[in-house]
Structure 1
Amino acid sequence: MKDFPSCFGENGVQIADSSSSSSSSSSSISKAAQNLVTCVYQCKLRGRLSFIVLTWTKHLMGQGLSLQIQNSTSQSLCKVDIKPWLFSKKKGSKIFEIESSKMEIHWDLTNAKFGCGPEPEEGFFVAVVFDRELIFFVGDSPSEKIAAVSAAAAVFVARREHVFGKKLYSAKAQFSEKGETHNVSIECDTSGGLKEPSLVIRIDSKTAMQIKRLKWKFRGNDTIVVDGIPVQVMWDVHNWLFGNSAMSSAVFMFQTHKSSGSHSQSSVLNSSSSSSSSSSSYCQQQIKDSKLQGLDFSLILYAWRNE
């Protein structure tokens, strides 16, 4: 699962994972992965499709932030890294020139309040201004300068995070722009014994999907409905069941679709048809197929099993 790339939008944007080096040990991977959340937003620069990739990190020395703007071919147009060092600059701005126009990136983390994760919960803002137009803003405390600029909202298209547990893995997700924030929980016991492993996914404590005979259905996809919207769920728990490392990860993807019509039929791959393909290849194909069906928002969870 370490090589898993994600593609979004018309031509795709690839998010590189700082914990994805194939030469790293599982322990070093887990340390990097544990404190990483990446959010992808879609916007337009002079009518051209672009992506804003915002990554929050947490280390012993403090919180970190990276903001990168990419075009539709995943080429980086500009990037700002705020390192998580003790004396890092928590407030500032940086100006770039893109196609003879000024790109401004502003941030203020001075009064940011953090929970257990890498993302601030309040008291911060990050903003992007292009050609005197506010194209991106997250946070709750804009400066007077930013507030005075006309706003053009970017669209939140993807979120990727790492979750840890032994049997239960939890995250929060908002599957539609004006929808409620839901608690997503994944329960899976792969500890062995007489009981056959099974997978249960719950939305706000209500069972949305259950997969039995998991050793035969360790990769697959199904569709659930959240807020009246069809959400395609894809899973790959091969590493949990058959991995050799003391700490292994599975991947889960939740993809909403703009069309709320008929749901695609459930499709589950058994081990005989998919064991020869890698987790990366399988999930890439699922993303490609889902894009053709009107992909709207994607939540990607890397679930790391603690022994």
Structure 2
Amino acid sequence: MKDFPSCFGQSVIQVESSTTTAKSGAQNTVTCVYQYKSKSITGFITVTWIKHLMGQGLTVGIQNSTKAPLCRADIKTWLFSKRKGFKNLVSDSEPVDIFWDLSSAQFGSGPEPLQGFYLAILVNQELRLLLGDQTNEAYKKIYSSSTPCVGSRAIFVAREEHIIFGKRLYNSKARFCDEGDVHDVRIEYDPDDSYDHCLAICIDDKTMIQVARLKWNFRGNDTITVDGLLIQVYWDVHRWLYQSVVGNAVFLFRSGDPKHKTSAASGFSLVLCAWKSE
């Protein structure tokens, strides 16, 4: 969304998934952005989980600085031979090693695996990101030992999710800081009232924001409090109301209270692209 507020920050600019790729439910995507620091370099890792008719897959992107070119690896896990493996990349002259094993992964309705997997990413031979519950298996694969490697790990800074559930209800889950609870996020939309469309944004079944006269207030922002954090919320539902072809609305949740945030939670953003089915 080109005119969305510029509060994403440099880290979220690297979110690669496009709102045009999820039309008509052809594929669901979740993109997670992680930030790491190596000496004087601040780098970013993007992991995009994809679900489509052929199965699940993922894309890993590495960028060692905001000025360095992005390098990426596409992992097509619907191919039997690709459900576990290893890849080498080079990002701005630094070696990148990617290890994964999704051969026993269990999935829910979304594109992300729930358990039974690992994804490990090393930059310049240092472990920067380890996802999944099979950590011992990952360490044995990487180091021939189950002993964890001590090093600076990446910080989870942003998540973009395409949600395609129906006309009225859109559901997701979010953790707004590393040590916070996982919360249910629900967006309720009433498309039937032609005069006074209503939009409600709820956290854990509690209505946090209610927008009336949506035809006039199709773009806006407000502030809520979750886990002691001030969360800035932006919405743009113009495509829901005025686009002839079925389009998506965009919702941005961004933590923004430095008095209550730890450094690990600083600047976290959640982007929900909600596709209205007909």
State the TM-score, normalizing by the size of structure 1.
Answer: 0.78
Q: 1:136 aligns with which of 129, 142, 155?
A: 129
Report the counterpart of residue 41 of structure 2 in structure 1: 48
Aligned residues: 266
For structure 1, the residue ranges without an aligned partner over 5 or more in a row are: 22-27, 262-293
Q: Is the 8 A contact 1:107 1:126 kept in 2?
A: yes
1:99-248 matched pairs, under 5 angstroms = 101-142=94-135, 143=137, 144-146=140-142, 147-148=146-147, 149-164=149-164, 165-193=166-194, 196-245=196-245, 247-248=246-247
For structure 2, the residue ranges without an aligned partner over 5 or more in a row are: none
User: Do residues 30 (structure 1) and 24 (structure 2) align?
Assistant: yes
Report the counterpart of residue 269 of structure 2 in structure 1: 298
- CA deviation after TM superposition for structure 1 residue 189, in Å: 0.9
Give the direction of change, closer, same or farther, for the CA distance of 1:9–1:18 in structure 2 (3 Å limit). closer
User: Do residues 254 (structure 1) and 253 (structure 2) align?
Assistant: yes
Report the counterpart of residue 20 of structure 1 in structure 2: 20
Distance 1:88 1:19 in 2: 30
Report the counterpart of residue 289 of structure 1 in structure 2: none
Q: Is the 8 A contact 2:84 2:103 kept in 1?
A: yes
Matched residue SS, 2:268: strand
Matched residue SS, 1:73: coil
Letter in 2 for 1:253: L
Letter in 2 for 1:30: S
- CA deviation after TM superposition for structure 1 residue 7, in Å: 7.7
Instruction: Report percent identity of matched pairs.
Output: 50
Segments of 4+ in structure 1 off by > 6 A?
2-7
State the TM-score, normalizing by the size of structure 2.
Answer: 0.86
Give the direction of change, closer, same or farther, for the CA distance of 1:8–1:237 in structure 2 (3 Å limit). closer
- CA deviation after TM superposition for structure 1 residue 95, in Å: 2.3
Q: Is the 8 A contact 2:54 2:78 kept in 1?
A: yes
Distance 1:10 1:248 in 2: 26
Q: Is the 8 A contact 2:197 2:215 kept in 1?
A: yes
Matched residue SS, 1:244: coil
Distance 2:163 2:124 in 1: 38
Distance 1:99 1:242 in 2: 44
- CA deviation after TM superposition for structure 1 residue 2, in Å: 8.5
Letter in 2 for 1:252: F
- Alignment RMSD (CA, Å): 2.6
- CA deviation after TM superposition for structure 1 residue 183, in Å: 0.2
Q: Is the 8 A contact 1:91 1:108 kept in 2?
A: yes
Q: Deviations over 1:130-161 (max 9, x none)?
A: 23321111111032144433242210010011
- CA deviation after TM superposition for structure 1 residue 18, in Å: 4.6
